[in-house]
Structure 1
Amino acid sequence: MGASGVVVLLAALVACGAEDPSVEDRGASPVETGPVLTPAGAWESYPSAEVGGVLTQREGCLLLGSEVVVWPVGTTWDEEAGEVGLSDGTSAVLGEGFRGGGGHYEAATDLADVLDSAAVAELVAACVDRTSADGIVLVGP
């Protein structure tokens, strides 16, 4: 492949990475979604406890208070604004408080079944390890 072919291939790869990934891809590729972790598919039911805290980013992971956050499918990340956008129009901004519905889980919980993906559960566990998080919080839509 010549130099012009490499440039075209690289341009195509960059363009693919810049697009908003489909709902099916969310959570499976942290490179495309930034620090936002989501389940592989939409949940049929949601935990309904109150969750909240200050949103921070540490070691490439988002934490709500002292817990790694898993957001609902359809959540977006705006790197420039440091803002998470939920599909219902609410948002969470780095350094600010956020309150919503959801559920808390122990840090060692294997969420593969809940998240419908062993790969996403591994990403969550890696964030728990890297950040020494106290737990995991699932935010509902």
Structure 2
Amino acid sequence: MEAEVRGTVEIRDDCLMLVQEDVPGAPAYPVIWPAGTTWQEDPPAVVLEGGQVVEPGTSVIGAGGYLQRDDIQEFVGSAVTDAAGNCVGETGEIALFNIGSDVQVA
């Protein structure tokens, strides 16, 4: 996918979301990170494959796209699709970074 995935990382109702704060009224998207990304419990944060820690409130950008729940499964499997699907907002879209995407802190 060649779109740009970007936003500020937030935790909302136990869901990890990307919010495009520079777009008034923009929805929040559940996010699927590239392979090799892990979760840090304390303090809560995403740890990118290279070791960079991305805490809530941090803006990120990388290659990927915004897809409907049914279109995500072929990329990440049913368990990840179901987890992200539980957090989908009014657009029905999920932010998905490409598998090898180099996510940058903006």
**TM-score w.r.t. structure 1 length?**
0.55
Q: State which of 66, 77, 94 in structure 2 corresponds to 1:136.
A: 94
Would the aligned equivalents of 1:61 and 1:68 in 2 still touch at CA under 8 Å? yes
Partners in 1 of 2:46 and 2:90 — Cα distance? 19
Unaligned runs of 5+ in 1: 1-46
Higher-strand-fraction structure: 2
Number of aligned residue pairs: 90
**2:72 is equivalent to residue 114 of structure 1:** no
Structure 2 length-normalised TM: 0.70
Q: CA RMSD in A?
A: 1.9
Q: CA deviation at 1:110?
A: 4.1
Which residue in 2 is equivalent to 1:59?
13
Q: Say which structure, 1 or 2, has more relative contact order (CA 8 Å, 6+ apart).
A: 2
Distance 1:101 1:77 in 2: 20
Q: Which residue of 1 aligns with 2:64?
A: 102
5 Å-filtered alignment, 1:1-141, equals 47-65=1-19, 66-106=28-68, 108-115=69-76, 117-128=77-88, 132=89, 134=91, 135-140=93-98, 141=101
Identity of aligned residues (%): 33
Unaligned runs of 5+ in 2: 20-27, 102-106
